[in-house]
């Protein structure tokens, strides 16, 4: 355990490891990541791993497109595979209001260079996802560059690249206290204390607990989501990420053949990684309805993960009222896909540089001011 550090990052998920990489690469010395378990053991390691540029807010479109650009070159940059697979996202609308919003989204996306397509032809949807049963849908949008990556491979690649630039990772190290000091912060852990200049809270579902240690109140909460995965089958059952906001589902086929599917709970704020039979039955019914070809495919595993939620389902980025204490939290189920840009933004902020995207509207005090980020495309 180091006794001192320049920057301490709390949390070894996608956002934490990406931030460590970009900070260390920028020349910051003595960057230390503290993880109470192992890297990628929290929300990142249990996510659906989707990456999409189809959003309805300009800032989100721009950030997500930048992440796609980054992911497409990340294997070469980090020197390790990330498992990127760009089968596209096929979004399905079942309500007139939703379809109207989708068309507005596509118009915005086109203006930003995201050449998505909007259509009502079910046959076109079935060209993208063979055999999909969506006769009851009103419309669809699709963008081929969207896709998914492997969260374990990606997080490990960020970690190893960060280490090559000098970052240190301390696993099985739980933060139990945070105290402001003259010109910095004291981080108290179960393995000793670290005196540092800056602390970045990347603790995901535990972000509000970590913030409380420093006397900062975050409006975040953890929401439990459940996923199932099937045995590997021949490719082509569900090549794109098949997703609907009104239909409450997301389904994708991994490169090795397994199908992953999930849905959002009506209300589940329990912390825990256990799953239940009601969820597996509900998700399985949805998969069978949409993909009749999956009728005899066996479910081999199910699990639960956490969304680090905020009142507007948008991230919290930036410094707090406690000087030298920073946040990169509240990604509300989209932390993995936005991890590269989050890391780049935080690196610029801590280095006193201009960030690639202005995070001002994502500060944690926006809720006290009655301001919310309105994004129509969240699942």
How much is the pLDDT for 287?
94
Model confidence pLDDT, tens digit, residues 159-184: 999 999 999 999 999 999 999 999 99
Superfamily of domain 89-143+222-309: D-Amino Acid Oxidase, subunit A, domain 2 (3.30.9.10)
How much is the pLDDT for 267?
61
How much is the pLDDT for 339?
97
How much is the pLDDT for 242?
97
**What is the model's pTM?**
0.95
How much is the pLDDT for 214?
97
- Class of the 4-46+152-219+311-366 domain? alpha beta
User: Residue 246 CB: number of other CB atoms within 10 A?
Assistant: 15
Low-confidence ranges of the chain (pLDDT < 70): 266-271, 379
How much is the pLDDT for 268?
59
How much is the pLDDT for 266?
65
How much is the pLDDT for 378?
77
How much is the pLDDT for 337?
95
The rounded distance, in Å, linking the Cα atoms of 243 and 110 is 20
Q: How far, in Å, are 54, 125, 143, 247, 376 from residue 88 at the CA level?
A: 10, 12, 5, 18, 19
How much is the pLDDT for 274?
76
For the chain, list the strands marked E by DSSP. Answer: 4-10, 31-35, 50-51, 89-93, 117-119, 139-143, 147-148, 168-171, 175-181, 184-189, 192-201, 221-230, 241-244, 249-253, 259-263, 299-309, 316-319, 325-329
How much is the pLDDT for 150?
95
Domain spans, the chain: 4-46+152-219+311-366, 89-143+222-309
């Amino acid at each position: 355990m180091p006794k001192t550090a320049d920057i301490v990052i709390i949390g070894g998920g996608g956002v934490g490891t990406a931030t460590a990489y970009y900070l260390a690469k920028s020349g910051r010395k003595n960057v230390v990541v503290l993880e109470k378990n192992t890297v990628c053991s929290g929300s990142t390691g249990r996510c659906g791993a989707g990456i999409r540029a189809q959003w309805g807010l300009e800032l989100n479109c721009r950030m997500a497109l930048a992440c796609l650009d980054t992911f497409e070159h990340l294997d070469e940059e980090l020197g390790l595979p990330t498992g990127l697979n760009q089968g596209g996202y096929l979004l399905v609308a079942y309500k007139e209001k939703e379809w109207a919003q989708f068309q507005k989204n596509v118009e915005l996306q086109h203006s930003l260079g995201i050449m998505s397509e909007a259509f009502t032809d079910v046959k076109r949807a079935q060209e993208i996802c063979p055999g999909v049963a969506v006769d009851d849908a009103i419309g669809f949008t699709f963008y081929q560059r969207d896709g998914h990556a492997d969260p374990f491979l990606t997080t490990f690649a960020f970690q190893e690249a960060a280490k090559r630039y000098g970052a240190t990772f301390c696993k099985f190290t739980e933060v139990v206290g945070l105290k402001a000091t003259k010109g910095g912060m004291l981080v108290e852990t179960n393995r000793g204390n670290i005196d540092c200049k800056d602390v970045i809270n990347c603790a995901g579902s535990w972000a509000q607990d970590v913030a409380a240690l420093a006397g900062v109140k975050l409006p975040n909460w953890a929401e439990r989501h459940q996923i199932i995965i099937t045995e590997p089958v021949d490719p082509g059952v569900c090549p794109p990420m098949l997703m609907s906001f009104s239909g409450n589902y997301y389904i994708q086929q991994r490169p090795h053949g397994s199908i992953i599917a999930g849905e959002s709970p009506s209300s589940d704020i329990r912390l825990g990684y256990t799953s239940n039979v009601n969820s597996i039955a509900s998700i399985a019914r949805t998969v069978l309805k949409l993909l009749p070809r999956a009728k005899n495919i066996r479910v081999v595993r199910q699990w639960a993960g956490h969304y680090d939620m905020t009142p507007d389902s948008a991230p919290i980025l930036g410094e707090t009222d406690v000087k030298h204490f920073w946040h990169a939290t509240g990604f509300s189920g989209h932390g993995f896909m936005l991890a590269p840009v989050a890391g780049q933004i935080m690196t610029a902020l801590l280095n006193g540089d201009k960030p690639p995207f202005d995070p001002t509207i994502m500060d944690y005090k926006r809720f006290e001011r009655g301001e919310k980020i309105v994004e129509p495309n969240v699942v």
